[in-house]
Amino acid sequence: MADTRDYMVRAMAAGRELRAFAVTSRDLVETARQAHGTTPVVTAALGRTLSGALMMSSMLKDPDGLITVQFKGDGPIGGITATADAHGNVKGYPVQPLVALPSRPDHHLDVGRAVGKGTLTVIRDIDRDHTYNGQIAIHSGEIADDLTYYFAESEQIPSSVGLGVKVEKDCTVGAAGGFIIQLMPQASEETIARLEDNLRTCRYVTDILDEGRTPEELLQEVLKGFSLEITETLPVRFHCSCSRDRVARALKLIGRKELQELIDEKKPQELRCHFCGKRYTFSTAELEDLRDELDAERKAREEGAKAADAREAGSPAGPAGEEVPSK
C-alpha cells in the first residue's frame, strides 16, 4: 500500500478547558472513492463520515474498541456506514454510490439532500463485551452538524464538529478532514464566548485544508487565541480486514439451501465486500467444498448432541470420547 500522508491529532486547549481533535484524510477518502466508485456528492458524504468516525475513535479508551457511525436517511444515498478502530483504521461504504444532485446555490455539494431525513446511530464497542448505542434524528444530513447534535443529545458533551471534503473537477479528492472541539465541564464563560466567536468567523474546513494546512494548523486557526497542546499524533488509513476466509465463513452462514442454489447455477460466484468493495470469486467446486464442510459440521454437532443426550440418559456410552459406532 502506498504511503499515506493522513494523520490525526488530539489536543488540549485553554489549559484543560477544551479538548480537540483534528484529522487530514485526503488520501483515505480518495481510497474510499476509488473502492466504491462514488460520485462527488457521495464522496463528500462518505468522506465526512469517515473523518468524523476516525476522530470519534480516538475517544475510545479500550485498544479493542470500535466505533460505527451510521446514517440511514430517505435521501438518494440510502445510508452511509463507517467503522473505525482505536488504531487509526477506518472503513466505510454508501448504500448507493452513484447519486447525482445539482449543487446548492452556494456551489457546495448538496450532501444534506443526498442523505435526507432519518436516523444517525453511533455504536461504540467499548470492549469485547460491551456496546453502547446512541441514536438521534438526522438534523441536516450535512454530517458535521448531525455529529454536533449527537454529542449534545446523546452524550451531553457540548461540541463543535467541522468536516469537509473537496472534490476536484476530475472527481478525485483534493482535500479532506475536519475537527472536533469539546467543552470540558470546567470551561469558563469567557472560554465559551471566545470559542463561539472563533467558530462563527472561522473559514470552511475544506478551504483551510486545501491550502495544504496540517491538522495542527487547522486547530490553531479554529482555536485562535487559545493555548494549544498537541497530546497525540496517529497516522490514519482506509483499511478493511476482510479476507477470503471471512467471506467463505459468511457464505456458509447464508444457509444450506441458498448455498446449494449458488452451486446449481454452475458458474463462479463473485462476492463483494460492502466495506471496501474487494471482490472474491468462488468456483463451483469451492462452493461444493463449503457445502460439504457445512454438512460435516452439522453432522458433528448432531452426533455431539446425541452423545450428550445418551450420557444424560445414563446409557452406557463408554468412556468419554468413545462414541457408539454410527450406522
Binding site for Zn ion (CB under 5 A): 240, 242, 273, 275-276, 278
Q: Which amino acid is located at 215 in the chain?
A: P
Spatial CA neighbour of 93 closest among 7, 6, 35: 35
| Chain Cα centroid distance, residue 21 | 17
Cβ nearer to Zn ion, comparing 18 with 273: 273
Least CB distance to Zn ion at residue 208 (A): 32
Cα–Cα distances in angstroms (integers) from residue 5 to residues 119, 175, 301, in the given order: 33, 11, 50
Least CB distance to Zn ion at residue 239 (A): 9
Least CB distance to Zn ion at residue 298 (A): 28
Cβ nearer to Zn ion, comparing 223 with 273: 273
Say how far apart CA 141 and CA 138 lie, in whole Å: 6
Least CB distance to Zn ion at residue 246 (A): 8
Cβ nearer to Zn ion, comparing 54 with 242: 242
Q: Are 166 and 177 in contact (CB under 8 A)?
A: no
Cβ nearer to Zn ion, comparing 19 with 36: 36
Least CB distance to Zn ion at residue 276 (A): 3
Question: Cell 468413545 sits at which residue?
Answer: 322
How crowded is residue 71: how many other Cβ atoms within 10 Å of its Cβ? 27
Say how far apart CA 290 and CA 114 lie, in whole Å: 40
Least CB distance to Zn ion at residue 144 (A): 26
Cβ nearer to Zn ion, comparing 29 with 276: 276
How crowded is residue 74: how many other Cβ atoms within 10 Å of its Cβ? 13
Q: Are 120 and 78 in contact (CB under 8 A)?
A: no
Q: Are 145 and 130 in contact (CB under 8 A)?
A: no
Least CB distance to Zn ion at residue 184 (A): 37
Question: Cell 477518502 sits at which residue?
Answer: 29
Least CB distance to Zn ion at residue 10 (A): 27
Take residue 59 and report the three cell numbers written for it.
Answer: 475517544
Cβ nearer to Zn ion, comparing 91 with 113: 91
Cβ nearer to Zn ion, comparing 86 with 240: 240
Cβ nearer to Zn ion, comparing 224 with 278: 278
Spatial CA neighbour of 41 closest among 89, 107, 119, 122: 107
Total residues found in the chain within this entry: 327
Least CB distance to Zn ion at residue 242 (A): 3
255: left (phi > 0), else alpha (psi -120 to 50), else beta? left
Cβ nearer to Zn ion, comparing 147 with 273: 273
Say how far apart CA 59 and CA 52 lie, in whole Å: 11
